[in-house]
Structure 1
Amino acid sequence: MDEVRVDMARRVAEAELADALPRRWAHSQGVAAKASEIGRILGKDADLLTAAATLHDVGYAPRLAVTGFHPLDGARFLRDAHGADQRLVRLVANHSFALLEAEERGLWEELAAEFPLLEEPLLVDALVYCDMTTTPDGNPTTAQERVAEIVGRHGADSIVGRFIRRASPEIFAAVERVTAALAAQPR
């Protein structure tokens, strides 16, 4: 177990989000708690999932918002300011099908070049599962309810609304794959 990485993730995310964006911090804590619950399906990567879950929205912190695209801003901050390991940074950069949103924002090439998607499907899916089954307040929800909430909050024609509607089939499929992996794993 890499408790140092998990502790670092919590310290960094809390420092950046707790005061500035308390609701985003509550969401991040809920996503991290879910990651801790399901980590057993990842074996040695359980702590990596928990660290990525804790940090996935750090790029929303006002002082870090350079491009306004939180996966890219967060990943750059973790790489440049904290020297975070490459797998963690790439998970944060690509969480919850961020490449599709990057495309909507004209940042696809930049994100893909700096932070290529990990070729670790279960790990990537597990972070999607944790993020997309947690409300903005950190409570459990279904992926369908979460997608509807995001569309309702941002508007169907916004960048985020268009992205999440495009990504929803992939989100639902990732959640199903993780649900199946959890069902197949002994407790």
Structure 2
Amino acid sequence: MANLTTKWATQVAESELAAELPRRWAHTQGVAERAAEVRRLLRESSDLLVAAATLHDVGYAPRLALTGFHPLDGARFLRDEHGADERLVRLVANHSYALLEAEERGLRNELASEFPLLEEPLLVDALVYCDMTTTPDGARTSARERIAEIISRYGADSVVGRFIRRAAPEILSSVQRIEAALAAQPR
């Protein structure tokens, strides 16, 4: 049963994404499902993972897209409009190696100073795993297929294409660490 934080996260994400961006909402639901599957790795931070997975792409909502960089826009929205937990906001701001994309967009200093990366490697890796093993439609995929899909969708020379190619080794390492942790843990 979801706690209040995860219920709240679902309500916020659904209200911002479902009607205007149904495919992004489908992806978000798939990422949240992956988080529910791996939450056993995180014990006391498991609800935080599910909430961050549910809210990671909220910054794509048209009314929130002020900079056009969804991790920053989403984190600011959660902080400023909802007074969300600092760890949650920092996870959303930095999900899936967003700092590398921020650099491509000339927003690295802004992102890093406003929302420093959490020093919780397992939690950060788990969110990367959930996001990067979920297709745009919410289905399960491999991280390699997801990276290839992103490059194909945005183009290799686009800001996102350049970012994802730079981030790919880190993404694959994060996914590998979570897969190894899951394999080592009894169900």
Instruction: Decide: shared fold, TM above 0.5.
Output: yes
3-state DSSP of counterpart to 1:46? helix
Tell me how far apart the structure 2 counterparts of residues 137 and 119 of structure 1 sit (CA, whole Å): 31
- Paired residue for 2:60? 60
Tell me how far apart the structure 2 counterparts of residues 23 and 33 of structure 1 sit (CA, whole Å): 15
Tell me how far apart the structure 2 counterparts of residues 8 and 84 of structure 1 sit (CA, whole Å): 10
Task: Confirm or deny that 1:95 pairs with 2:119.
Answer: no
- Paired residue for 2:75? 75
Residue 65 of structure 1 aligns with an amino acid whose one-letter code is A
- Paired residue for 2:114? 114
Tell me how far apart the structure 1 counterparts of residues 184 and 35 of structure 2 sit (CA, whole Å): 17
Residue 68 of structure 1 aligns with an amino acid whose one-letter code is G
* RMSD (Å), alpha carbons: 0.9
Count of residue pairs brought into register by the alignment: 187
Percent of residue pairs identical: 75
Q: What is the 5 A alignment of 1:126-145?
A: 126-145=126-145
Residue 148 of structure 1 aligns with an amino acid whose one-letter code is A
TM-score, L = length of structure 2: 0.99
Q: 1:2 Cα deviation (Å)?
A: 7.2
Tell me how far apart the structure 2 counterparts of residues 73 and 180 of structure 1 sit (CA, whole Å): 33
Tell me how far apart the structure 2 counterparts of residues 184 and 141 of structure 1 sit (CA, whole Å): 21
Instruction: List structure 1 runs of 4+ shifted beyond 4 angstroms.
Output: none
5+ residue gaps, structure 1, are none
Tell me how far apart the structure 1 counterparts of residues 10 and 185 of structure 2 sit (CA, whole Å): 27
- Residues 127-176 of structure 1, C-alpha deviations (whole Å, 9 max, x = no match): 00000000000000000000000000000000000000000000000000
- Paired residue for 1:163? 163
3-state DSSP of counterpart to 2:63? helix
Residue 146 of structure 1 aligns with an amino acid whose one-letter code is R
- Paired residue for 1:49? 49
- Residues 92-131 of structure 1, C-alpha deviations (whole Å, 9 max, x = no match): 0000000000000000000000000000000000000000
TM-score, L = length of structure 1: 0.99
Q: 1:186 Cα deviation (Å)?
A: 1.2
Q: 1:21 Cα deviation (Å)?
A: 0.2
* Residue range with higher mean Cα deviation, 1-10 or 99-108: 1-10
Tell me how far apart the structure 2 counterparts of residues 133 and 74 of structure 1 sit (CA, whole Å): 21
- Paired residue for 2:27? 27
- Paired residue for 1:184? 184
5+ residue gaps, structure 2, are none
Tell me how far apart the structure 2 counterparts of residues 85 and 47 of structure 1 sit (CA, whole Å): 12
Residue 117 of structure 1 aligns with an amino acid whose one-letter code is L
